[in-house]
């Protein structure tokens, strides 16, 4: 196995205004799929309001906890 390759599953939770943007996360997911690395991507939905864009990570909770349940 090449040096630096992750041997554990990875979960990336991304959003438009988070640390990891959706487009960066998709690029990472594609690179990991090509390298046969176990990466699951969750992108939070966002809604436009009068106050601006709001991301709803709470909606992703079931997917996140399901992933944790399966992997750990």
Lowest mean pLDDT among 35-39, 50-54, 59-63: 50-54
Rounded to two decimals, the pTM is 0.69
Helix (H) or strand (E) holding 39: strand 39-43
What does the pLDDT look like over 2-35, one tens digit per residue?
Answer: 556 657 888 988 876 667 778 888 999 999 999 8
Q: Is the model more confident about 17 or about 61?
A: 61
Mean pLDDT, to the nearest integer, of 34-52? Answer: 83
The DSSP annotation for 42-67 comes to: EE--EEEETTEEEE-GGGGHHHHHHH
pLDDT-based confidence at residue 65 (cuts at 50, 70, 90): very high
Domain ranges of the chain: 15-71
> What's the CA gap between 27 and 41, in Å, rounded?
11
Radius of gyration of the chain (CA): 14
Residue partners of 33: CB distance under 8 A and separation at least 6: 39
């Amino acid at each position: 196995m090449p040096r630096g390759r992750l041997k554990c599953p990875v979960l990336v939770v991304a959003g438009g205004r988070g640390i990891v943007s959706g487009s960066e996360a998709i690029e990472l997911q594609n690179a990991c799929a090509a390298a046969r690395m176990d990466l699951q991507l969750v992108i939070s939905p966002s809604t436009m309001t009068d106050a601006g864009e709001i991301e709803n990570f709470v909606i992703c909770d079931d997917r996140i906890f399901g992933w944790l349940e399966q992997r750990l």
